[in-house]
Amino acid sequence: MPPPPTAALSSSSSLCLFPLSSYSSPKKTQLGFCPSFPFTRLTNFTPTRRLMTCSAVSIEKETLISHRPHTFLRETDGLDDGSVRSRFQRMIMEVQDSVCGALGAVDGAGKFKEDAWTRPGGGGGISRVLQDGDVFEKAGVNISVVYGVMPPEAYRAAKANVTDQKPGPVPFFAAGISSVLHPKNPFAPTLHFNYRYFETDAPKDAPGAPRQWWFGGGTDLTPSYIFEEDVKHFHSIQKQACDKFDPSFYPRFKKWCDDYFYIKHRDERRGLGGIFFDDLNDYDQEMLLSFATECANSVVPAYVPIVEKRKNTPFTESHKAWQQLRRGRYIEFNLVYDRGTTFGLKTGGRIESILVSLPLTARWEYDHKPEEGSEEWKLLDVCMNPKEWI
């Protein structure tokens, strides 16, 4: 589960954006963010106790702040200048509000806990987590806006092409939203989404090199049981968002998603896919900003109707045990393969935000094999052999 520069990639699934998870092709990375910058106008904060080290690079502590600021951008970027940085930040803040509002309405009882934080080097983030509600066991929706300097190994973790090795520390800016949603009912699927924007500047030992930028992200579904109508609904909403910009996007990004969320040591996918893209900069920047916005805004209509339909479905302890086993697979992917998580850890990202993608409970049984032909077997079969849903 996902997220850059002193950032946490996401996945999955904010936040250190993400790892919540986070996202990338088999050769790419998911970004998540955890910021840093001196917001001197804010008071009444409580510093965290963590001081992390990335390689030989010392990473600053986050500072919790008492309220959500209007912006995490530096004044030199302009607060409302119409730049991509400013508009992307505004978009992820609005999407965080809309997604949390929709999830809160679905749950009914659970309330989101909010932590806002900054970093001395620039930027900040807002982590929101609903835990142990009536519907959601854990739902995290995080945003981060980060300025910083990446050591070479963190740059290689965030950028897919391993031949693209910068000689020294790389200044960067990253902003993103990342979320992972774990319902209690085993018939209601887990969801992960992450959308991010990344810029790098020339390192000090490579003056004159051009600024680089790219977009990344995606939305994917991880059910424990297959309801074909639910999966088709989810994929149809992803396709609609893609088709507004380029009919080649959905088939391309659907395959990318299947390839990325692959648990190699199990020879199976984490779930039933969706869309995923990274290092996207070969289209007009304005078009890609609009595309990322459309995808982020499609999360609620793609997911909430499914949860509403399944949240009260009766289930047995056997159904719950299977859900716990599938969550084990989720954890294995996030901690072993997700580049967003790796990036967040290597850049000293906020640990609580990076690991918020993990469920409260999971299960590992020795040599568990579902009975052939069972509903559990059908789910596993599709995870091993991805199919076209629409």
Q: How many domains does the chain have?
A: 1
Q: DSSP readout, 26-45?
A: TTS-----------TT--S-
- Model confidence band, residue 198 (pLDDT cutoffs 50, 70, 90): very high
| DSSP track, 275-313 | EEEEEE-SS-HHHHHHHHHHHHHTHHHHHHHHHHHHTT-
Q: What is the pLDDT of residue 163?
A: 53
Residue 6 has pLDDT above 60, yes or no: no
Which whole-number Å values give the CA distances from 68 to 42, 137, 348, in the listed order? 10, 25, 22
| Mean per-residue pLDDT, 234-251 | 98
Residue 203: predicted pLDDT: 62
Radius of gyration of the chain from its Cα atoms, rounded to whole angstroms: 20
CA dist 145 and 173 (Å) reads: 8
**Residue 31 included in any domain:** no
Annotated catalytic sites, by residue? 192
Confidence of residue 105 (pLDDT cuts 50, 70, 90): very high
What local confidence, expressed as pLDDT, does residue 152 receive? 63
Greater confidence, 80 or 330? Answer: 330
Q: How far apart are alpha carbons 306 and 102 in whole angstroms?
A: 13
First to last CA, the chain: 25
pLDDT value at residue 50: 35
pLDDT digits (tens, 9 = 90+) for 108-117: 999 999 999 9
Is a pLDDT exceeding 70 seen at residue 20?
A: no
Burial classification of residue 324, based on how many CB atoms lie within 10 Å of its CB (0-12 exposed, 13-18 middle, 19 or more buried): middle
Residue 109 lies in a domain: yes
What local confidence, expressed as pLDDT, does residue 16 receive? 39
8: pLDDT strictly greater than 50: no
Does residue 44 fall inside a structural domain? Answer: no
- Split at pLDDT 50, 70, 90, the class of 205 is low
Contacting residues for 270 by C-beta, under 8 A, at least 6 apart: 220, 222, 261, 262, 263, 329, 330, 333, 383
214 part of a folded domain = yes
How many CA atoms, within 13 angstroms, populate the side-chain half-sphere of residue 12?
A: 36
pLDDT band at 270 (very low <50, low <70, confident <90, very high): very high
Give the predicted TM-score (pTM) of the model.
Answer: 0.81
- Rounded CA separation 217/226 (Å): 24
Give the CATH number of the domain where residue 162 resides.
3.40.1500.10
Across the chain, mean pLDDT equals 82
Q: What is the pLDDT of residue 29?
A: 32
- Residues 145-163: pLDDT tens digits? 988 877 666 655 555 554 5
**pLDDT score at 30:** 32
Asked whether residue 50 is assigned to any structural domain, the reply reads no
3-class DSSP state of 200? strand
**At residue 46, does pLDDT exceed 60?**
no
> How many CB atoms neighbour CB 46 within 10 A?
10
Asked whether residue 104 is assigned to any structural domain, the reply reads yes
CA distance 194 to 345: 17
Q: Name the band, by pLDDT with cuts 50, 70 and 90, for residue 343.
A: confident
For residue 212, the enclosing domain spans: 63-384
155/54 Cα distance (integer angstroms): 12
Q: What is the pLDDT of residue 9?
A: 33
β-strand partners of 54: 57
Q: Supply the pLDDT for residue 338.
A: 87
SS3 22: coil
Look at 54 and 340; give whichever has higher pLDDT: 340
Whether residue 389 lies inside any domain: the answer is no
> Distance of CA 333 to CAs 76, 261, 309, 358, Å?
39, 7, 28, 11
58-62, 269-273, 334-338: segment of lowest average pLDDT? 58-62
Within a domain: residue 183? yes
pLDDT recorded at residue 34: 34
Q: How far apart are CA 170 and CA 149, in angstroms?
A: 5
Question: Could you tell me which of 348, 259, 335 has the C-alpha nearest to residue 7?
Answer: 348
| pLDDT per residue as tens digits for the range 276-319 | 999 999 999 999 999 999 999 999 999 999 999 999 999 999 99
Higher pLDDT, 228 or 120: 228
pLDDT value of position 35 = 31
Q: In the chain, what is the greatest distance between 2 CA atoms, to the nearest angstrom?
A: 63
